[in-house]
Every structure is written in C-alpha cells, then in structure tokens.
C-alpha cells in the first residue's frame, strides 16, 4: 500500500488549507478522500488543496479532486489547487482538465 499524509489547517475562520504529501493512487485514494472530506465542514467558505509535495497522482487521485470539486460547488465553497508548474503531478492535473472547473496555480 502506498502512503499519503493529509494535514489541515484553518488560517482564518472558514478558510481550510489541506496539504497532501506522498502519493495518491488506487490503493489509498478512498482513504485520502475520506480524510479530506472529513476536514471540510459546513463552516468552510474556501478550500485550498496544496499538492506541492505530492510525488504521484493517478486517475484515482484525480477522481478524488473532481469529486471534491463537485461537492464544494454544490455547497458554494471556493476551491483551488496548488501544484508546482512542471511537476509530474501538475502534468496529470493539466491533462485531466481540472483547471477548467477550479483554479489551479
């Protein structure tokens, strides 16, 4: 099983920043998705996912991001993803079209 660490901080009320490190793949995507969803409560107004230290992201990991984007859109919560330009993870995010529905920077 691959490892991913998911941490969360709330720098201001209603602002949630989630950092994911390691890898998100088929083996751990469900657990990562549950952890992320548990971190976003009904008080959230803005959610940022930081993938800057993520080493690998497959289609199951992308599904986690698309599912979260759909949930947050229904709740009218702003959502953006931080991922470094030129990284393997950024290429996967760009190819997936995630940037068409959420801000990616």
Residue 54: is it exposed, middle or buried by C-beta count within 10 angstroms (0-12/13-18/19+)? buried
- 42-58 tens-digit pLDDT: 899 999 999 999 999 99
- 87-103 tens-digit pLDDT: 999 999 999 999 999 99
Q: Print the domain residue range for 68.
A: 4-104
Give the residue, 5 or 41, on which the prediction is more confident. 5
The answer to whether 12 touches 46, Cβ cutoff 8 Å, is no
Q: What is the pTM of this model?
A: 0.94
pLDDT number for residue 50? 99
Q: Answer whether residue 1 shows pLDDT above 60.
A: no
CATH number for the domain spanning 100: value is 3.30.750.24
In the chain, the percentage of residues whose pLDDT exceeds 70 is 98
Q: Could you give the number of structural domains in the chain?
A: 1
């Amino acid at each position: 099983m691959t490892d991913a660490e998911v941490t969360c901080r709330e720098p201001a009320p209603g602002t949630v920043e989630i950092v994911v490190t390691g890898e998100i793949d088929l083996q751990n995507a469900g657990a990562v998705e549950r952890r992320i969803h548990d971190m976003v409560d009904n008080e959230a107004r803005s959610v940022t996912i930081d993938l800057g230290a993520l080493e690998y992201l497959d289609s199951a990991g992308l599904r986690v991001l698309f599912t979260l984007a759909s949930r947050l859109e229904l709740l009218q919560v702003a959502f953006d993803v931080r991922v470094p330009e030129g990284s393997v993870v950024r290429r996967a995010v760009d190819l997936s079209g995630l940037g068409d529905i959420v801000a990616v920077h």
